[in-house]
Amino acid sequence: MHMADALVSPAVGGIMLAASAGAIAYSAYKCKDDLDEKKIPLMGVMGAVIFAGQMINFTIPGTGSSGHIGGGILLAALLGPFPAFLALTAVLLIQALFFADGGLLALGANIWNLGFYACLLVYPFVFKPIVKKGLTPTRISVASVVSVMLALTLGAISVVIQTLASGITELPMATFMGMMIPIHLAIGLVEGIVTGGILVFIYKMRPELLESSMDNKKLPKNLSIQKVLGVLLVFAIVVGGGLSLLASSNPDGLEWSMENVAGTAELETSGNAYDSAAGIQESTAFLPDYGFKSTDGEGSAAGTSVSGIIGAGITLILAGGTGYLIYAVKRRKEKTA
């Protein structure tokens, strides 16, 4: 599931962009070192395959509903973790631009939720150990199901945390998690079975394709993954710290509330099921001078007085009118030209 731009706050979006950028930079660096140049076109084509493959609906027996394939674990098994992560990044960017799947600010969050866990965390630490003793159809299937379920669940948990940290939804954390995790475990089961089916087929037809990506030489050593995580953690702290400094030293800046990012203040309030709306306002409103807490009486009721709403309507009409005017002028110009 893709996060949308409208569902993240600038701080959360920014931090996730930074974290994903870090992971991308590290993967690119790893690929520069030991990537077979032959893999460059393969990665591009596989990205396109995942893109097109996600459009195939398959029927889930006994449910009457349909599903589609994910991509992270499948790509990682075919290309190896770092190339897979980069290929998936390209796919997510194209989806964000053309299909409004996610968005540009939420791109970091989406790359993290859908790519990082599957390719750089679950694949090397769960999938690989299961098939370590040698590839067999059973091991491939088990590894696929477990990995896909785990990766999807991690992604779902992240979605919850990111949404709550952004202060967009008022769903209590427990309810949100309770909705997301079972759904994604179920989706993961189906997707995992299909992923396993695909990989087993490939293994039977062209075993060398899977074996080459399993090649131990091109494997990330445990150490390097720890390094990645370490680097990313430091990155996140630096970025987060920088943002909070910026926010506190510059109260006229944007509503980059770090409480929201840290999640504590906001999450506790949500846990208490909101004593009062004012409480939320306090924690989400960063600029008491602007908007709804205006003291000079004008937009007193939460910045959303009746007159304000009518004003908003007029603003929209004005905007639409301006657009119409430009169209009209352009058309007249064309006619005279």
Mask: binding to other proteins, 231-270, rule CB under 8 A, as x and -?
-----------------------xxx--------------
Q: How many chain residues touch other proteins (CB under 8 A)?
A: 121
Choice from 132, 221, 227, 330 touching other proteins (CB under 8 A): 330
Cβ nearer to other proteins, comparing 222 with 315: 315
Residue 328 burial by CB count (10 A; 0-12/13-18/19+): exposed, middle or buried? exposed
Residues 197, 205: Cα–Cα separation, whole Å? 12
Q: Is 304 in the site for other proteins (CB under 8 A)?
A: yes
Q: Is 8 in the site for other proteins (CB under 8 A)?
A: yes
Q: Smallest gap, in angstroms, from Cβ of residue 37 to other proteins?
A: 3
Q: Which helix (H) or strand (E) holds 58?
A: strand 58-59
Q: Is 284 in the site for other proteins (CB under 8 A)?
A: yes
Residues 149, 276: Cα–Cα separation, whole Å? 38
Q: Is 100 in the site for other proteins (CB under 8 A)?
A: yes
Q: Is 292 in the site for other proteins (CB under 8 A)?
A: yes
Q: Which stretch binds other proteins (CB under 8 A): 81-89, 122-130, 149-157, 219-227?
A: 81-89
Question: Which two structure tokens, joined as six digits, stand for 42?
Answer: 């393969």
Residues 201, 112: Cα–Cα separation, whole Å? 29
Reduced to 3 states (helix: H, G, I; strand: E, B; else coil), residue 59 is strand
Q: Is 337 in the site for other proteins (CB under 8 A)?
A: no
Cβ nearer to other proteins, comparing 153 with 269: 269
Residues 189, 191: Cα–Cα separation, whole Å? 6
Question: Which two structure tokens, joined as six digits, stand for 71?
Answer: 């991509």
Cα dist. 130→75, 142, 221, 257, 287 in Å?
Answer: 17, 8, 16, 43, 52
Cβ nearer to other proteins, comparing 224 with 294: 294
Choice from 129, 238, 319, 332 touching other proteins (CB under 8 A): 319
Choice from 34, 104, 241, 268 touching other proteins (CB under 8 A): 104
Mask: binding to other proteins, 173-212, rule CB under 8 A, as x and -?
-----------------x--xx-xxx-xxx--xx--x---
Cα dist. 30→82, 91, 131, 228, 270 in Å?
Answer: 7, 20, 23, 11, 42
Amino acid at 170: E
CB 142 within 8 A of CB 197: no
Reduced to 3 states (helix: H, G, I; strand: E, B; else coil), residue 3 is coil
Choice from 34, 138, 170, 182 touching other proteins (CB under 8 A): 170
Mask: binding to other proteins, 105-144, rule CB under 8 A, as x and -?
x---------------------------------------
Q: Is 40 in the site for other proteins (CB under 8 A)?
A: yes
Comparing CA positions, the residue from 164, 175, 171 lying closest to residue 11 is 164
Q: Is 57 in the site for other proteins (CB under 8 A)?
A: yes
